[in-house]
Amino acid sequence: MRVLGLLARVLVILWVVSTLVFLMLHLVPGDPVAVMLGESATAADQAALRHHLGLDQPLWQQYLHYLGGLLHGDMGQSLFLQRPVADLIAARFPYTAELALLALAVAVLLAFPLGIWAAVRAGRWPDQLAMTLSLIGVSIPNFWLGPMLILLFSLWLGWLPVSGADAPWAWVLPAVTLGTALAAILTRMLRASLLEVLHEEYVRTALAKGASPRRVVLRHALFNALLPVVTVLGLQLGTLLGGAVITEVVFDWPGLGQLLVESIQRRDYPVVQGVILVIATAYVVVNAFTDWLYGWLDPRVRRP
């Protein structure tokens, strides 16, 4: 029943999103035919191409055609590249997923030690250092951090490639760039949540009964402090799966974000619609997964 409910929710959200995107895209000024044919095409050529692409049909007919295609699992054909939208997304999504997961891994690797360190040493220099670092992490924009990391690790040290996704270690710099900002938020969230839990009675009881501080923090306090952290992680993963445009541009990472921005610029309606549908689906799925994770972490939030 829960799966059916989720499926119904997903379908309604996707329908609303696809309709809104369709209408907004067609209402924004700009003509894909003009972008495709360039300056020198005659009016007759433009009209012929517009007819060829079905862009001369009334908006409601184009909408029905689009919706009909979606119901048959067909997201249409790119106006610009003349390739199926599904193929374009299938080529880009693995890159986006890879970068999202790696960035999240970097964020977790940075945030958990720092957050825990700050919480257990609250009010002392490690706490202040961790919080200062996280404040810097939140404040540095990716379009600055990315080139700085390239200068340091690619040009001066020569350890990593500048950009691209083909070289074996090409993922490191974009993942660190994205992960740093995420880590900063996670660190602060984890510290605050852990501090609250560390003052609970059961923590004091466990310590009084002789449990080691490491065991108390990792086994008892951390699990109970994870709920808000998981919420943020879920939101961050959803955002990352939508493509991190700036980071993708700086590092030439061929992900969904770049595809989306390029398609908006050239008014490639089917591709924009397809990519946004995928992003919306990713959000819904990640949210559902987060809900499930809540229940696993804290049996009190499980539904009867």
Partner 1 sequence: MNAPFPRRTLLAAGCGLPLLGCSARTPLPQNHFRLGVSGRPRSLDPRRATDALSSRLNRLLYEAPVDFNARFEPVPALMDWQQTAPLRWVFALRKSTRFHDGTPLTAEDVAATYASVLDPATASPHRGGLKHVQRVRALDGQRVQFDLTHVDALFPGRLTIGVLPRRLMKAGHDFNRQPLGSGPCRFVDANEQRTRLQRPDGALLEFIKVKDPLVQVLKLRKGELDWIQGGLSPELVRYCAARPELAVQWHRGTNFAYIGFNFRDSWLSQQPIREAIALGIDRAAIVQALFDNHARLAGALLPPEHWAGLKNWSGYPYDPGRARALLESAIGQGQRLSLSYKTSANPLRLRLAAIYQSMLREIGIDLTIQSYDWGTFYADIKAGRFQLYSLAWVGIKSPDIFQYVFHSQAVPPAGANRGHYANPEVDRLIEAALAAQMFAEQQRLYGQLQRVLAETVAQVPLWYEDQYAVLHRSVSGYTLAADGRYDGVLTMRRVQHG
Q: Which of 10, 13, 35, 138 binds partner 1 (CB under 8 A)?
A: 35
CA 25 remoteness from chain centre: 22
User: Which residue stretch of 16-24, 28-36, 224-232, 293-301 sits at the interface with partner 1 (rule: CB under 8 A)?
Assistant: 28-36
Q: How far apart are CA 271 and CA 16, in angstroms?
A: 17
Nearest approach in angstroms of CB 60 to partner 1 is 22
Q: Is residue 176 at the binding interface for partner 1, with CB under 8 A as the rule?
A: yes
Nearest approach in angstroms of CB 202 to partner 1 is 15
Nearest approach in angstroms of CB 283 to partner 1 is 24
Hey, which residues between 219 and 248 contact partner 1 (CB under 8 A)?
none
Q: Is residue 213 at the binding interface for partner 1, with CB under 8 A as the rule?
A: yes
Among 74, 119, 223, 106, which residue's Cα sits nearest to residue 173?
A: 106
Q: How far apart are CA 95 and CA 18, in angstroms?
A: 23
Q: Is residue 66 at the binding interface for partner 1, with CB under 8 A as the rule?
A: no
Which of 101, 285 has the CB closer to partner 1?
101
Q: Is residue 31 at the binding interface for partner 1, with CB under 8 A as the rule?
A: yes
Handedness of CA 60, 72, 19, 48 (dihedral sign): negative
How many of the other CB atoms lie within 10 Å of CB of 277? 18
Using DSSP's 3-state secondary structure scheme, residue 77 falls into strand
Which of 229, 286 has the CB closer to partner 1?
229
Q: How far apart are CA 107 and CA 113, in angstroms?
A: 10
Q: Is residue 116 at the binding interface for partner 1, with CB under 8 A as the rule?
A: yes
User: Which residue stretch of 7-15, 67-75, 211-219, 274-282 sits at the interface with partner 1 (rule: CB under 8 A)?
Assistant: 211-219
Q: Which of 18, 77, 92, 230 binds partner 1 (CB under 8 A)?
A: 92
Among 280, 273, 268, which residue's Cα sits nearest to residue 241?
A: 280
Q: Is residue 37 at the binding interface for partner 1, with CB under 8 A as the rule?
A: yes
Tokens of 164: 């691209």
Half-sphere exposure of 284 (CA within 13 A, CB side): 20
Contact 189, 229 (CB under 8 A): yes
Nearest approach in angstroms of CB 1 to partner 1 is 42
Which of 48, 288 has the CB closer to partner 1?
48
Hey, which residues between 264 and 283 contact partner 1 (CB under 8 A)?
264-267
Q: Which residues of 225-241 are buried (b: 16+ CB within 10 A; e: fewer)?
A: bbbebbebbbebbbbbb
Which of 14, 35 has the CB closer to partner 1?
35
Hey, which residues between 144 and 173 contact partner 1 (CB under 8 A)?
147, 150-151, 153-155, 158-166, 168-169, 172
